[in-house]
Structure 1
């Protein structure tokens, strides 16, 4: 597990799970997130190839805040399926959809199911950082 440590208590942990089957996107997102200045949290970043791998990890059982960055199109379990499963069992998980699916109906569906934000691929790094920080601000 990649970890960015800050001098915070264990009560202020933020687990960021990147669920995307593209290794280049995973690597880019880990780098982007590690470079961000996120105050008030000890950050733990982990990437998963798909929803099955994510749920098998039991990462959601970790005490702290959770932010999921979900790809919309993946084998086995896509981002919408992960979103539905997470939101049916946990209300305190924040979700940013990061998808190549750009149709208004797909975006609307994800937001109605509880996604906190939706960014389409290809994406601007600065915009993604701003949107991630906006979600994290809601956690404080």
Structure 2
């Protein structure tokens, strides 16, 4: 096999694959879902609806490194879609409602569920990234490979 390839084994719990101490994954995700700093669990994670703070006001952890981007929105779409579609099918099997009645029920429910879930899901994604030392949370800069020129 040409080149110097080395397989890196990932270890979950105990010691991180890069030699760093593993951060508590589920604790960080839970703290993020509750809108708290994934490190200390006391400081606020958000300064606005889905705008995270740059640093934790309690422990000083830098949180501006996150790259949550579109993942929280995609996860919310999947979660809300399953809830609304399953509920719609159950109601449709049990009763006969007109189209306007369905619209009156499912459109507001979809909007409300999406708005309620967006911040906790984004917090969970930020907590996940922090726990796994992703995107600058491990005190190193992200390295981006340059795009090949066309």
Give TM-score, length-normalised by structure 1: 0.23
Relative to its length, the structure with more strand (as a share) is: 1
Relative contact order: is structure 1 or structure 2 higher (C-alpha 8 Å, sep ≥ 6)? 2
Q: Which has the larger radius of gyration?
A: 2
Give TM-score, length-normalised by structure 2: 0.22
